[in-house]
Amino acid sequence: MSPTELAATADRIRAVAAGLRENGSDQDALDALAATRELTRAISQVQVEAVAVLQRSGAFAAAGHRRPDSAVASVLTVDRGRAREIVRAADHVAARVDLQGQVLPPLLPAMAAAFTRERPQSRFI
């Protein structure tokens, strides 16, 4: 999904929020709330994968960031603790590149598989 497609998706999500505000029923609100759980997981996955790509390419260092979490905090406008969590996840569940340019498997392959596995839609309420 391209950045343009992500922006269009964000616009659709904002439209859902506006619809709930204007005339959403309790069931609509419960369904939307349950759906946000999956959206949050998907967004986290995009963030972690994007950070992994930027780390592998050396983009953070090239931009003058000694630590990737400072760049992530700046781009996402989150605190450094949350940025560290995203970077740590990328460090553990994404493929890495060694100094010779060889691609290495994730540090935690089982966690990587679970992280990238699609989850079935479920309803708790």
**The pTM is what?**
0.77
Domain-wise residue ranges, the chain: 3-116
- Judge residue 82's burial from the number of C-beta atoms within 10 Å of its C-beta, 0-12 exposed, 13-18 middle, 19 or more buried: middle
Angle between helices 26-57 and 3-23 (to 10 degrees): 160
pLDDT tens digits, 51-104: 999 988 889 989 999 899 999 999 999 999 999 999 999 989 888 777 777 877
* Beta-strand relationship, 103-104 and 96-97: antiparallel
Other C-beta atoms closer than 10 Å to the C-beta of 70 total 16
| pLDDT (0 to 100) of residue 123 | 47
